[in-house]
Amino acid sequence: MAFPSVSNSISFVHPVSLTHGKNAEVWDVDGKRYIDFVGGIGVLNLGHCHPQIVAAICEQAQRLTHYAFNAAPHVPYQQFIERLAAFIPVSYPVSGMLTNSGAEAAENALKIVRGHAGKTAVIAFDGAFHGRTLATLNLNGKVAPYKQKVGVLPGPVFHVPYPSVDNGVSAEEAFKALDRLFSVEIDIDEVACFIIEPVQGEGGFLALDPLFAKALRKLCDDKGIVLIVDEIQSGFGRTGERFAFSRLGIEPDLLLLGKSIAGGVPLGAVVGRKSLMDTLPKGGLGGTYSGNPIACAAGSATLDVMTDANLSAWNEQYSSTLLARYERWQTEKVSPYLGRLTGVGAMRGIELITPEGKPATAQMAQLLQMAREHGLLLMPSGKSRHIIRLLAPLTIEPEVLNEGLDILEACLRALD
């Protein structure tokens, strides 16, 4: 599939052209229906065209389509940021700013940290993904394709192993790598911040070791280092709770948000401790489109729907169905390529491995095509692109979820 007016540097997982969608289903230009397990890569936790979000967008579009908040504050921004601050489960008062994307939130977080700490060194983790902008590229724990041919990136940024039961890296191994880093590469007193995902998305849906998370929080407290938690993909109910950091028993200093924050309308945020968020001088934060009224209205509607009761019910239905199906697949040995189930809650990945224990990248390519032909859209993840990233809407109907899993099972059985 080629589009002459679109840069060839943009790649496509699926060579289809979509026209419309509803909850967990989408249709292409030929009228073919697909069950969507991609969800806009984690943007559509509430599905395509959720009626309450659509109604909020339409109503706001008739009142005020745009005003730059830093030119004259508007009510949708004020209302949404207050509600968002109350939605974040931390013990301290939350302050923040709205952005256009998760990557922009990460960029602004780096600015805030520099202003606060007077230092520039950042420690990120192998397998991380924090965006495609120039500064966030350097945070990513993977070269291809994001850093290729880009040249020197803003720094300094250092990477250490990401500890998770899903990748076999222990908390002890990660701290040994940190000890080496502080002995060989950089003095710990020069470190401004750590940035970490509680569940890696691009990295393969790897869940952070809780012991490491708690020890890292203590290290940051002891050394006056800012802890940035990236919940751009894991947030807004994807792991079964409002945010995944709650599962780890920690609180971030700064929290990065995006993707499912506004039901598919471009919006992001960096929020956290007021002492940090107020560091830069007046005018140091802002942006022409940041906190657009329509996006804010969509964000408020999202919070209306995303109650704790709904999150609990959605997670139970989604997770129990998937876990039961996966356990049966294991018992029945549906495929010699079926590997581990990674992640937590409704943020799950299924690893494809060869009988020799190597990433089954060829089989992943085959699976993506077969599933698409049978009406199921899937997305790969992981360093070797061998982990199926399951990001169906949390609101997916049980019968549609089971239909999608039936297709996935049939395709797994057919892999050669």
Give the tens place of pLDDT for each residue, 137-150: 778 665 655 556 44
- Residue 263: is its pLDDT beyond 70? yes
Mean pLDDT over each residue of the chain, to the nearest integer: 94
Judge whether residue 171 has pLDDT over 80: yes
Query: Which residue intervals of the chain bear CATH 3.90.1150.10?
Result: 308-414
Main-chain phi, psi angles of 336, to 5 degrees? -70, -10
Please give, one letter per residue, the 3-state secondary structure of the chain.
CCCCCCCCCCCCCCCCCEEEEEECEEEECCCCEEEECCHHHHCCCCCECCHHHHHHHHHHHCCCCCCCCCCCCCHHHHHHHHHHHHHCCCCCCEEEEEECCHHHHHHHHHHHHHHHHCCCEEEEECCCCCCCCHHHHHHCCCCCCCCCCCCCCCCCEEEECCCECCCCECHHHHHHHHHHHHHHCCCHHHEEEEEECCEECCCCCEEECHHHHHHHHHHHHHHCCEEEEECCCCCCCCCCCCCCHHHHCCCCCEEEECHHHCCCCCCEEEEEEHHHHCCCCCCCCCCCCCCCHHHHHHHHHHHHHCCHHHHHHHHHHHHHHHHHHHHHHHHHCCCCCEEEEEEECCEEEEEEECCCCCECHHHHHHHHHHHHHCCEECEEECCCCCEEEECCCCCCCHHHHHHHHHHHHHHHHHCC
- Digit-coded pLDDT (tens) for 351-405: 999 999 999 999 999 999 999 999 999 999 998 999 999 999 999 999 999 999 9
Task: Tell the burial category of 317 from Cβ atoms under 10 Å away from its Cβ (0-12, 13-18, 19+).
Answer: middle
pLDDT for 332 beyond 50: yes
Q: Check residue 141 and give its pLDDT.
A: 63
The pLDDT of residue 58 is above 90: yes
Looking at the chain, the domain(s) classified CATH 3.40.640.10 span 53-305
pLDDT at residue 150 in the model: 45
Mean pLDDT, residues 181-192 taken together: 96
pLDDT for 47 beyond 60: yes
The pLDDT, as a whole number, for residue 142 is 53
Per-residue pLDDT at 152: 45
Question: What was the pLDDT predicted at 143?
Answer: 60
Average pLDDT over residues 21-43: 97
- The domain 308-414 having CATH identifier 3.90.1150.10: the answer here is yes
Q: Is the pLDDT of residue 154 over 70?
A: no
Q: Do residues 279 and 285 touch, judged by C-beta distance below 8 A?
A: no
Mind listing the pLDDT tens digit for each residue in 192-212?
A: 999 999 999 989 999 999 999
One-letter amino acid at 297 equals A
Dump pLDDT digits (tens) for 305-330: 999 999 999 999 999 999 999 999 99
Neighbours of 356 (CB within 10 A): 6
Strands 33-36 and 254-257 turn out to be unpaired
Query: Using CA atoms, how far apart are residues 313 and 307, in angstroms rounded to an integer?
Result: 10
Lowest mean pLDDT among 3-12, 74-83, 250-259, 321-330: 3-12
pLDDT surpasses 90 at 113: yes
Q: Which residue, among 138, 143, 78, has the nearest Cα to 106 in the 3D structure?
A: 138
Give the tens place of pLDDT for each residue, 246-262: 999 999 999 999 999 99
pLDDT at 292 over 90: yes
Q: Which of 46, 93, 25, 22 is nearest to 303 (CA)?
A: 46
The CATH class that applies to domain 53-305 reads alpha beta
- Model confidence band, residue 130 (pLDDT cutoffs 50, 70, 90): very high
What is the pTM (predicted TM-score) of this model? 0.94
CA 338 to chain centre: 24
